[in-house]
Structure 1
Amino acid sequence: MKCELGMIVVGMALAGCSNPSPSAGSGTTPVAAEAEGTREIEVDAQMVDCTGVGPQKCLRIRKNPQAEWELWYSGIEGFTHKAGVKARLRIREEKVPNPPADGSSLRLILVEVLEQTPAKP
């Protein structure tokens, strides 16, 4: 019981260590105002080679237009990537309880496709 309580306390303490949101004084502007529990992201027009458990293709996403692209290994539930088409999405992030060691602690779920534009050659 003491061990379980200790793990809960440590987990709660770590949850308070997350990065601040872009609007919390970092000097960057979020993609757009976000509804509670959702956020907007951009998905690049091309998937790229990456390595997780083995070689695979990853999405490139970013949370604001000034940010660098990040690799997203897990896909976005409800979203099908179209090669050559850049997308702006409203997504919901959910924490994954007890994620596998090689998996993400977040799950992205499509709420709405806001915009899709063909990539410029």
Structure 2
Amino acid sequence: MKRYSILVILLILANFSCSSDDSVLIESFWVDSERVSCVGLEERTCYRVQEGITINESNWQLFYNSIEGFDEIYEEGYRYQLKVKKIKIENPPQDGSSLNYKLIEIVNKELNE
């Protein structure tokens, strides 16, 4: 009976140690004040973004994804600092992204002059 109890406890502990969810990350993004032309599967416009807390003007990267909850409220002319949830997609479509982005909050919105 003692062995059985120890085995049950070990199984419970192993389950808790494996339960961390590495498929969701919280990140800080900067989104530049205007979208730029880009080509993925088709020609469209993309955000220019940087990950992290500070901005380096030479490090903008094209962002081909959308940001759920942000796309609808984005205003050109403003630079945004966002907190986003980055979610890994299990079994993504072949022609789609393996990541999904959701807005958590707008940390800062400043007029880019």
TM-score normalized by structure 2? Answer: 0.68
Instruction: Verify the 8 A CA contact 1:87 1:113 in the aligned structure 2.
Output: yes
- Cα distance in 2 between the residues matched to 1:73 and 1:86: 18
1:95 Cα deviation from its structure 2 partner: 0.4
1:106 to 75, 99, 106: 99
**Secondary structure class of the residue paired with 1:87:** strand
**Secondary structure class of the residue paired with 1:113:** strand
1:45-99 deviation per Cα after TM superposition (whole angstroms, max 9, x unaligned): 0000001111101011101323711111121000032111100000010001222
- Which runs of no fewer than 5 residues in structure 2 stay unpaired? 1-23
Structure whose alpha-carbon radius of gyration is higher: 2
**Secondary structure class of the residue paired with 1:99:** coil
What is the percentage of aligned positions where both structures have the same residue?
32
1:102 Cα deviation from its structure 2 partner: 2.7
- Which runs of no fewer than 5 residues in structure 1 stay unpaired? 1-35
- Cα distance in 1 between the residues matched to 2:62 and 2:94: 17
- Cα distance in 2 between the residues matched to 1:58 and 1:97: 24
Q: What RMSD in Å do the two structures reach over aligned CA positions?
A: 1.7
Instruction: Verify the 8 A CA contact 2:30 2:81 in the aligned structure 1.
Output: yes
The 4+ residue runs of structure 1 with deviation greater than 6 A are none
Q: Which has the higher contact order (CA 8 A, sep 6+)?
A: 2
Instruction: Verify the 8 A CA contact 1:52 1:102 in the aligned structure 2.
Output: no
1:87 aligns with 2:85: no
Counterpart of 1:52 in structure 2 is 40
Instruction: Flag the structure with higher strand content.
Output: 2
How many residues are treated as equivalent by the alignment? 85
Counterpart of 1:62 in structure 2 is 50
